[in-house]
Every structure is written in C-alpha cells, then in structure tokens.
Structure 1
Amino acid sequence: MRVDGGDAKLGKRLMEQYQCGACHAIPEVAAARGTLGPPLEHFGRRSYIAGAIPNLPEPLTQWLVNPPAMKPGTTMPNLGVSPAEARHMAAYLYQLR
C-alpha cells in the first residue's frame, strides 16, 4: 500500500529511533525483539490495526501519532511521533508483507 509523503527507508530509521523494537519484533530492525506488543512481520497484509481499526494509510498514521486516542485502553503509548514521521513509519510497515 502506498503512503503519500512516506519514505520507507526513513520510516525504518524512525522505528529504530523511537525504539519500537522494545515492545515489537520487527523484521530487519536491529535488536527489535520485543514481545509486549504484537510482532510486526507481515504487517502490510493485515486487515486491522490493534484488532479493530482498518489498516489503511490515514488510520495507521493517526494510530502512530496517538494510539490511545484511536483505541482507549491500548498499551501502546503516545511516543510523540509527528504526522510526517508517522507517514514514513507507515510506508515502512506496509512493506512488511
């Protein structure tokens, strides 16, 4: 899936910068072996984000910016990701097929 304004290579670096691998196992991201959150392998094939939100570019970007606003009670914290950074991160996640 294509994300307008998204750069997958930059998105991968941002996943490392925000230490997403502390909670998630993420292919090709060094030391990303977390088990608290779901593994992100094959993320681009998933129908839903967090089991309830359609896996489309705009909802995914909103999720990455502020997960608790999208799904109250989620264990995924708001990490201060900007909308621009979220677009890059989404572009990377959609490459995980």
Structure 2
Amino acid sequence: MRRRRLPATALAVLALVTAGGCASSPPPPPPQTRAGHPERGAQLIAQYGCGSCHTIPGIDRADGLVGPPLTRFGARSYIAGKLPNSDDNLRRWISDPQAVVPGNAMPNLGIDQIDAQDIAAYLYTLD
C-alpha cells in the first residue's frame, strides 16, 4: 500500500491544532465562590490609583495605558502571564507584584491582604 503525503500547508495546520496553544496544560477552572467585597474593591482601585496604569471598566477615569487593560479579567486564565488565575494568586500579585515577577512595571503600593481581597473581588466581576 502506498502512503499519501500531506501538503505542507496541511502539515502546518495539523501541527497548530495538535499543539494546543500557548499553555502545556489546560487552565484551572475558576472557583465557584469568591471572597471579598467588590463594591469596596472598586473604591480601593480608585483610591490606590490603579486606573492611572490600567483601563478598568466601571472605574471613573481608569483609562491608563501602561499596564494591560483589565477588561474581562474574571475570564482570564493567567495573571501576569505566569500565575494561574486564582483568588490566592491574585491577592499575592496585588500585594507584592515584585515578589512574583521581579522588575515588572507594576509597583508595590503597600496594599494589605484585606484590601487586595476586595480589589480581587471587584476584578472577578469583570467577566
């Protein structure tokens, strides 16, 4: 029996389909319940000035272009392209981003764990 050879374009498409994208494993499922107070989180986002670097839906004058837009944050798989998007990881990122990814553009703002929890609660409403 003679084997047929696939055209180069078909091989390229096959390679892309079987590669499965950027991540080597599927993203974790989002938790069903979230801790924190989203309304307070929105106030804290404005107070800490997060909108000077990020575009954040629902926050007045949050139209910064330094950091990524936080639109649909709750539907994202990863935080900072490194951490699976979970409550604990987001609080850690908000509280001390330099410990997670040293030298990144997000400054440590002295956000404590309670404020980070409420900010995370707001961001998870953006899906």
After TM superposition, the score normalised by the length of structure 2 is 0.74
Shift of 1:72: 1.1
Matching residue within 102, 120, 124 for 1:72:
102
- Name structure 1 gaps, 5 residues minimum: none
Which residue number corresponds to residue 52 of structure 1? 82
Larger RCO: 1 or 2 (CA < 8 Å, sep 6+): 1
Measured after TM superposition, the shift of residue 80 of structure 1 is 0.5
Return structure 1 stretches of 4+ with deviation > 3 angstroms.
Answer: none
2:34 corresponds in structure 1 to 3
Computed over aligned residues only, the root mean square deviation of the Cα atoms, in angstroms, reads 0.8
Which residue among 62, 83, 93 is the counterpart of 1:32? 62
Q: Distance in 2 between matches of 1:86 and 1:20?
A: 12
Higher radius of gyration, 1 or 2: 2
Match of residue 91 from structure 1: 121
Percent pairwise identity? 47
Which stretches in structure 2 are left out of the alignment for 5+ residues?
A: 1-30
Name the count of aligned residue pairs: 96
Q: TM-score, normalised by structure 1?
A: 0.96
Counterpart Cα distance in 2 of 1:71 and 1:92: 23
Counterparts of 2:53 and 2:34 in 1: how far apart (Å)? 24
Structure 1 equivalent of residue 47 of structure 2: 17
